[in-house]
Amino acid sequence: MSVEALRDGIRNKAFTSEEIVKFYIEKIKKEDGNINSYLTICEEKALQDARIVDEKISKGEAVGKLAGVPIAIKDNICTDGIKTTCASKMLEDFIPPYDATVVKKLKAEDAIIIGKTNMDEFAMGSSTENSAFKVTKNPHDLERVPGGSSGGSAAAVGAKLAPFSLGSDTGGSIRQPAAFCGVVGLKPTYGSVSRFGLIAFGSSLDQIGPFANNVRDCALALEVIAGTDPLDNTSSNKIGSTDYLKGIEDGVKGMKIGVPKEFFGEGLDAEIKEAILTSIEKLKSLGAEIEEISLPITDAGLSAYYVISSAEASSNLARFDGIRYGYRAKEFEDVYDLMEKSRTEAFGDEVKRRIMLGTYVLSSGYYDAYYKRALKLKKKIKEEFKEVFEKYDLIISPVSPVLPFKCGEKKNNPLEMYLADIYTVNINLAGIPGISIPCGTSKNGLPIGLQILGPHFGESKILKAAFALEGALK
């Protein structure tokens, strides 16, 4: 059942929020043992909050846009009084004393936080195998990864263990797991959703966004979480209307859509290519004008992404020193030894690798060669996308060059894992919005995702095209 149908059913007293929350909690208890999408289930608090919403409705009081509907939250988004671990031993027992702005907004619309989802440690990874606690499995094939880093949030929605969820996307961490798990996932424009309370990885790239089983639910969730926030200086004051459901049925007739030829070259799985080309034909038949374009930045963009995100990660994760909060080593000689031992014992391999890479590219002698050049390329990429969007309404591309891969398949080769992000990272460098929607399945039944990109603050346009294509592909 969709988020809208659940909300309307609760509001019209066809069923209660308590019944819905109980249903999902029972389902999680029964089925999540195989999938491992959740790290924390907030059973007691969720049921208590559901009863409050039910009471409001029975008294005829006004309720919010998401009244009584359960939502799962990625475990790097702070939730007051609920453990927020970033799937790291470093924050294993960390309980935030405040809510992230997006969580406050969800609560203001009476959504029910049902649990916190698994992820790659500190959002670093593309498979959710880097969690310190458990490996999440793809609900379509338990031997395969759900993608990452928001693999728990995507798998929970894909396995119908939550009607919708929140994730974060620094280089594809919403769109890629959405594609792998056969759900809709949206990375909004950088600056359109507050990041206050999101535990930082790459601050100039991080963005919070929703997962859902259909495009309308994604639009509704975005409507609730988007907006300027004085607590996040990078949140923009140019967002415009956040009523993303308005005109969502308008269709794609007359829209000019660019298809970058570089995204269909060597390395793209044949079945993915075929599914995307079929979708492009569908869009043509719906009245969109499709043209091939050139965006010759993919390889270098991937490098720039890993230079910048690792540099920012090394700086952001310097705060985890075992002093004020987080893991503290049991034995140490002095305060410096305490910091070094706490960090070495609590961070996982991939997090250490990124901190080291980031420190390397920022260190004296390498700063100009790597970091400064990467920043220049980031700016060039942003300009190139801007130029494209002067002529085209949207861009269409694959999300991932590969189908969901087997657990352990790429874990020991970090470069190979990084290369799988080639179609998503440039979008974060440019700061533009992108949505991943299911567009078919492989012959082995694995989901295939398609990415629709738009100009800065072009979420409405993206959602219109996604909604039209979703309908045409049914």
Partner 1 sequence: MEKVSIEDVKYIAKLSKLTFTEEEALKMASEFEAILTHFKTIDNMDLSDVDINAFDEVNTEFRKDISEVFEDKKKLMQNVKSLRDTSIQVPKIIE
Q: Is 461 in the site for partner 1 (CB under 8 A)?
A: no
Catalytic residue, from 173, 192, 194, 314: name it. 173
CA-nearest of 109, 104, 102 to 67 is 109
149 is catalytic: yes
Among 51, 278, 373, 409, binds partner 1 (CB under 8 A): 373
Options 5, 14, 277, 335; binder of partner 1; rule CB under 8 A: 335
If binding is defined by CB under 8 A, does position 321 make contact with partner 1? yes
**And the tokens for 135?**
């490996």
Q: Which is nearer to partner 1, 15 or 332 (CB)?
A: 332
Question: In 42-189, where does DSSP find H-type helix?
Answer: 43-58, 101-108, 151-158, 175-181
Ramachandran angles phi, psi of 321, nearest 5° = -125, 5
355 near partner 1, judged by CB under 8 A: yes
Q: Assess 274 for contact with partner 1 (CB under 8 A).
A: no
Q: Examine the residue annotation and report whether 74 is marked as an active-site residue of this protein.
A: yes
Q: Which parts of 249-297 fold into alpha helices (H)?
A: 270-285
Tell me if 319 contacts partner 1 by CB under 8 A: no
Three-state DSSP at 173 gives coil
Q: Decide whether 221 or 313 has the Cβ nearer to partner 1.
A: 313
Measured between alpha carbons, how far apart are the two ends of the chain, in Å? 16
> H/E element holding 257?
strand 256-260
Residues in region 230-259 near partner 1 by CB under 8 A = 230-231, 233-237
Work out whether 374 is an interface residue with partner 1 (CB under 8 A).
yes
x-marked contacts with partner 1 along 178-197 as a string, rule CB under 8 A: -------------x------
Cis before residue 149, ω within 30 degrees of 0?
yes
Rounded to a whole number of angstroms, the minimum distance from the CB of residue 287 to partner 1 is 33
Stretch that binds partner 1, among 152-160, 287-295, 330-338, 388-396 (CB under 8 A): 330-338
How distant, in Å, are the alpha carbons of 259, 261, 391, 392, 452 from that of 295? 9, 7, 13, 13, 15
Does 360 participate in binding partner 1 (rule CB under 8 A)?
Answer: yes
Q: Are 111 and 4 in contact (CB under 8 A)?
A: no
CA 174 from chain center: how many Å? 2
| Catalytic annotation, pick one of 17, 37, 65, 74 | 74
Q: 375 or 472, CB closer to partner 1? A: 375
Using CA atoms in the order 455, 456, 457, 459, what is the torsion angle rounded to 10 degrees? Answer: 40
Binding of residue 303 to partner 1 (CB under 8 A):
yes
Decide: 378 and 308 in contact? Cβ < 8 Å: yes
Give the type of residue at 332: F
Query: Is position 265 an interface residue for partner 1 (rule: CB under 8 A)?
Result: no
Nearest distance from C-beta of residue 95 to partner 1, angstroms = 6
| CB 321 to partner 1: min, Å | 7
Active-site entry in 149, 194, 235, 436: 149
The CA distance from 455 to 63, in Å, is 34
Q: Residue 6 carries which side chain, given as an amino acid letter? A: L
Number of residues that bind partner 1 (CB under 8 A): 62
The single residue among 134, 286, 414, 472 that binds partner 1, judged by CB under 8 A, is 414
Q: Specify the stretch interacting with partner 1 by CB under 8 A; choose among 35-43, 193-201, 277-285, 329-337.
A: 329-337
322 binds partner 1 (CB under 8 A): yes
270 binds partner 1, rule: CB under 8 A: no
Q: Which is nearer to partner 1, 158 or 301 (CB)?
A: 301
Under DSSP, the state recorded for 141 is B
Under rule CB under 8 A, residue 353 binds partner 1: yes
State in angstroms the smallest separation of the CB of 377 from partner 1: 6
Part of the chain binding partner 1 (CB under 8 A), chosen from 5-13, 211-219, 281-289, 413-421 = 413-421
Applying CB under 8 A, which of residues 30, 48, 323, 444 lies at the interface with partner 1?
323
C-alpha distances out from residue 362 to 234, 356, 358, Å: 23, 10, 6
Q: Which of 122, 370, 385, 467 binds partner 1 (CB under 8 A)?
A: 370
Alpha carbons 74 and 165: distance in angstroms, whole number = 8
Which strands form 256-260's sheet, in the order they lie side by side?
38-41, 112-117, 70-74, 164-168, 208-212, 184-187, 434-441, 447-453, 394-398, 256-260, 289-293
304 in Cβ contact with 374 (< 8 Å): yes
339 in contact with partner 1 (CB under 8 A): yes
With beta carbons less than 8 A apart as the criterion, state whether 424 and 207 touch: no
According to the binding rule CB under 8 A, does residue 97 interact with partner 1?
yes
Write the CB contacts of 202 (distance below 8 Å, at least 6 apart in sequence): 170, 171, 308, 309, 312, 313, 316, 428
Site for partner 1 contains 384 (CB under 8 A): no
Q: Which residues bind partner 1 (CB under 8 A)?
A: 93-95, 97, 191, 230-231, 233-237, 297, 299-300, 302-304, 306-307, 314, 318, 321-326, 328, 332-336, 338-341, 343-344, 347, 352-353, 355-357, 359-361, 363, 370, 372-377, 379-380, 414-415, 418
Enzyme catalytic residues: 74, 149, 173
